[in-house]
Structure 1
């Protein structure tokens, strides 16, 4: 009898402790955040992803009532930062912004210490940076039809620059070659800066690059623009047709960005972060500054867990076969 009383008392104590713990967790979630939040960026300061992160960090912090601190963790194509976030405490104080590299990592690296689809909670898409297929100024072709004929006539003699293995410029170029059914001579650089410099100097023939840094050169005629990688023409360069309308049906490459959290982050906290992200992307100042940089804000329907998850899965299916077929690095 004494044993039963002791057992029941022990059970009661455990139940009581569990109830108290549950109450404390619920209270913590309700009061969240009570300290600054780290927004991890997988690249060095100054790049497009870092720029977007810093634009949304301030209004997100204002919406949450705490400072959102941008934390740059560069290296290994974003996999160092991704691993760091995947292993972080799921308490909402570490969140993550990454671009389409989240979708290409599995095909680029043999063994990842995280699973892009299952090691994170999804918060929402953020913004897309369009790209343009560019040619050097003195390339004989003046439009896409002429470029197609020039490539078919010259094959591997045509050179295509990129920013190195796994870079978006490389992936865009490889997808272009795959859709065209050709194999060009791919020349890797240590970044799009030097690749663009050599294109401007006429040392390489082609480059697929982001609009954030190429539109001024297109407008002043220092490079030829053969097509945008979007479904619709870009307002900043309305006279440049899309590759889709010129025959490469469905050709779309955007440097898209999404916000994530460690797996297991409580839903009430995720909901608060999502609401803050939506508020930031609706801020007139953020909208203007992103538009000025030729960056497209994601539709609000995609600034959601489902929108980001569905898009990531779709992009993995697009880029996996392209990367494996190309046998990157190249």
Structure 2
């Protein structure tokens, strides 16, 4: 009798999940971006979300839940109902937070259902327009000689700009004054205003400012030059051998979200990444969508695990913690 009841319960649950998936979505979907509005991850989310709305037939809205290096927004989604109406768009910080925070309010690998990878965004090393160094070698020399005077802005502990800055300071063997913000949007505003000296930020946030001549650029953090900024050398070419940081973005739902719902979200994501407007805007911002085989739950799950394994020993060896 007990076995029959368990079997009946399982069947009822499956049928309920299938019915929910068939009806999904029947209301707006919220994408949580765990950083401030106006930053690079926010830009990616708004472009992709707008396109996903078309194929899903429901409005996709962006909600910015910043703070604690992206972990507040991630925790919000981890605790959300697993119905596909609250999802997370996060970057490399989803992997690095595992080592940066010794007590996370969720299990990164087990509390989320991957939907798919979105894009790999290069970063640029930029400075205020009045910064004296004319190239990266001069910037490094100036920073080493004035490490107590120069200021490095980032989007908060655990952010991509924080990680890039940490690697930069390790590479030049100098601890610089860091100024954390609640997102790269506010940090960029102060860089433009000359309140801070330099920062490392994603091309989605810097390309227009670079091309407008509003900030100085010293290098891109990829192995090869970025087509939209082809005149800008790589950090390796400019004088920091082997310096490389790429910021990947992924889409997640809460653990327990029905597989058919995940499948619908994945399909909508893949269609968005083929949208000519998204492709064009990504190119203008110095990036491009991932290939369809990477915009899948399997690819994101595998990549997340690999990135955790890659960055955890580096962060732990540096002894850098956010809590």
User: Is 1:273 aligned to 2:265, yes or no?
Assistant: yes
The whole-number CA distance in structure 2 between the counterparts of 1:80 and 1:256 is 19
In the alignment, which of 257, 262, 278 is matched to residue 286 of structure 1?
Answer: 278
Q: CA 1:49–1:161 in structure 2 vs 1: closer, same or farther (change >3 Å)?
A: closer
For the Cα contact (< 8 Å) 1:32–1:269, is it kept in 2?
no
The whole-number CA distance in structure 2 between the counterparts of 1:227 and 1:32 is 49
User: Is 1:114 aligned to 2:106, yes or no?
Assistant: yes
The whole-number CA distance in structure 1 between the counterparts of 2:25 and 2:147 is 60
For the Cα contact (< 8 Å) 1:174–1:326, is it kept in 2?
no
For the Cα contact (< 8 Å) 2:39–2:185, is it kept in 1?
no
Offset from partner CA, 1:26-85 (integer Å, 9 cap, x none): 641651415223333323444433333232234323323444343443443332322222
CA offset at residue 234 of structure 1?
Answer: 1.6
Q: TM-score, normalised by structure 2?
A: 0.82
- Over the aligned positions, Cα root-mean-square deviation in angstroms equals 3.2
The whole-number CA distance in structure 2 between the counterparts of 1:17 and 1:223 is 64
1:14: which partner in 2? 5
Offset from partner CA, 1:109-139 (integer Å, 9 cap, x none): 3311211122111111112332211234454
User: Is 1:132 aligned to 2:86, yes or no?
Assistant: no
Residue 62 of structure 1 aligns to a residue whose secondary structure is: helix
Q: CA 1:150–1:125 in structure 2 vs 1: closer, same or farther (change >3 Å)?
A: same
Counterparts of 1:155-170 in structure 2, within 5 Å, are: 156=148, 158-170=150-162
CA offset at residue 279 of structure 1?
Answer: 0.6
Structure 2 portions without partners, runs of 5+:
none
User: Is 1:327 aligned to 2:293, yes or no?
Assistant: no
The whole-number CA distance in structure 2 between the counterparts of 1:71 and 1:192 is 16
Q: CA 1:61–1:115 in structure 2 vs 1: closer, same or farther (change >3 Å)?
A: same
Q: Which has the larger radius of gyration?
A: 1
User: Is 1:232 aligned to 2:224, yes or no?
Assistant: yes
CA offset at residue 242 of structure 1?
Answer: 0.8
Q: CA 1:293–1:182 in structure 2 vs 1: closer, same or farther (change >3 Å)?
A: same
Q: TM-score, normalised by structure 1?
A: 0.81
The whole-number CA distance in structure 1 between the counterparts of 2:80 and 2:24 is 16
In the alignment, which of 303, 317, 327 is matched to residue 295 of structure 2?
Answer: 303
Deviates more, 1:315-324 or 1:230-239: 315-324
For the Cα contact (< 8 Å) 1:33–1:66, is it kept in 2?
no
In the alignment, which of 34, 38, 42 is matched to residue 30 of structure 2?
Answer: 38
Counterparts of 1:1-330 in structure 2, within 5 Å, are: 10=1, 14=5, 17-18=8-9, 21=12, 24-25=15-16, 27-28=18-19, 31-36=22-27, 37-152=29-144, 156=148, 158-189=150-181, 191-193=183-185, 195-197=187-189, 199-200=191-192, 204-246=196-238, 248-324=240-316, 325=318, 327-328=320-321
The whole-number CA distance in structure 2 between the counterparts of 1:308 and 1:236 is 26
Q: CA 1:179–1:266 in structure 2 vs 1: closer, same or farther (change >3 Å)?
A: same
